[in-house]
């Protein structure tokens, strides 16, 4: 198995929203905001090569939205989804599967592209996978807190193409990937656990967006069920440290991965760095 981090660029979000009840005087020491109180965040995907499978986890925010819409997220950086896949040595038509952890715009936006006047799946040869519960949550009657993140143009073309497949419960279509399913951030978020040789790489998505979010109280205001998110994070971290998982961060602006250590203050980051293939 080979795993390749896929950089799709950076965006900015309000620091207070990302750290919830944690005071700015604390979080600004590790995530300094700009003059508008915005912090820099990565949109880092993961490409897994195993046998005849080439699996992409999440797709970034994409670039098909109107510039007036995208300006609210202060997109920056030179990388994009397709360029990064090609720099890893692959072509987008080689992608066999796309796992969408959930359907918020910064995770699913790159899954669909604008081709002329049509919106089509970016990866024409791929099966797309999302949890059935997340799909229903996003499309049947999205709640007011999340509705602005569930954009029809990011989601509906996947269904209309016939390429969309649904995961039920915790069942995985891949022998080398398990799922931790979490409901705190949004309904039925998929956290892929990749069994890579002698280690497990946990793609932490929005359960733990960055190294800074490891303490239990560091829960984003975007989470629809913050107390549930804290309980899930605790259960996840206990299993992660017991089984010595490597955590892979989607949004950490500096660190791709970390190991975990137990301290007097709880479970914290051990060695931080880049994903070793």
CATH number at residue 136: 3.60.15.10
Q: For 225-272, write each residue's pLDDT tens digit.
A: 999 999 999 999 999 999 999 999 999 999 999 999 999 999 999 999
Count: domains in the chain: 1
Q: For 103-127, write each residue's pLDDT tens digit.
A: 999 999 999 999 999 999 999 999 9
With contact defined as beta carbons under 8 Å apart, do 2 and 90 qualify? no
Which structural domain range is residue 62 located in?
A: 2-273
Q: Which residues contact 99 (CB under 8 A, 6 or more apart)?
A: 55, 56, 57, 58, 129, 130, 177, 190, 192
Q: For 191-229, write each residue's pLDDT tens digit.
A: 999 998 889 999 999 999 999 999 999 999 999 999 999
With contact defined as beta carbons under 8 Å apart, do 138 and 150 qualify? yes
Beta-ladder partners of 48: 3, 55
- When pLDDT is averaged across residues 90-108 and rounded to a whole number, the result is 98
Q: Is the dihedral of CA 10, 13, 18, 23 positive or negative?
A: positive
Check pLDDT > 80 for residue 276.
no
Check pLDDT > 70 for residue 277.
no
With contact defined as beta carbons under 8 Å apart, do 205 and 191 qualify? yes
CA-to-CA separations, 219 to 15, 32, 65, 213, in angstroms, rounded: 12, 17, 28, 7
Q: For 6-16, write each residue's pLDDT tens digit.
A: 999 999 999 99
- For the chain, the farthest-separated pair of C-alpha atoms sits apart, in whole angstroms, at 57
Nearest to 124 by CA among 167, 93, 157: 93
Question: pTM for this structure?
Answer: 0.96
CA distance 129 to 141: 20
Provide the pLDDT confidence category of residue 5 given band limits of 50, 70 and 90.
Answer: very high
Q: For 129-178, write each residue's pLDDT tens digit.
A: 999 999 999 999 999 999 999 999 999 999 999 999 999 999 999 999 99
Q: For 42-84, write each residue's pLDDT tens digit.
A: 999 999 999 999 999 999 999 998 888 888 899 999 999 999 9
């Amino acid at each position: 198995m080979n795993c390749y981090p896929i950089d799709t660029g950076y965006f900015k979000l309000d620091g207070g929203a990302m750290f919830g009840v944690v005071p700015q005087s604390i979080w600004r020491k590790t995530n300094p905001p700009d003059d508008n109180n915005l912090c820099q965040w990565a949109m880092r995907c993961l490409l897994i090569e195993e046998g005849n499978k080439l699996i992409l986890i999440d797709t970034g925010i994409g670039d098909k939205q109107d510039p007036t819409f995208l300006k609210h997220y202060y997109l920056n950086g030179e990388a994009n989804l397709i360029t990064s896949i090609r720099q890893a040595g692959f072509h987008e038509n080689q992608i066999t599967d796309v796992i969408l952890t959930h359907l918020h715009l910064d995770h699913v936006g790159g899954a669909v592209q604008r081709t002329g006047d049509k919106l089509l799946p970016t990866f024409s040869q791929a099966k797309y996978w999302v949890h059935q519960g997340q799909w229903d949550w996003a499309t049947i009657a999205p709640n007011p807190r999340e509705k602005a993140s569930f954009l029809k143009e990011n989601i509906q073309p996947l269904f209309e193409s016939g390429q969309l497949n649904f995961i039920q419960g915790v069942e995985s279509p891949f022998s080398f990937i398990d799922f931790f399913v979490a409901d705190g951030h949004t309904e039925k978020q998929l956290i892929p656990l990749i069994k890579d040789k002698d280690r497990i790489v946990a793609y932490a998505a929005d359960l733990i967006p960055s190294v800074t979010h490891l303490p239990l109280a560091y829960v984003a205001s975007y989470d629809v069920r913050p107390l549930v998110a804290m309980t899930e994070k605790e259960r996840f971290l206990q299993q992660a440290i017991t089984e010595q998982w490597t955590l892979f961060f989607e949004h950490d602006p500096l660190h791709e991965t970390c190991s975990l250590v137990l301290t007097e203050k709880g479970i914290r980051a051990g060695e931080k760095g880049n994903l070793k293939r």
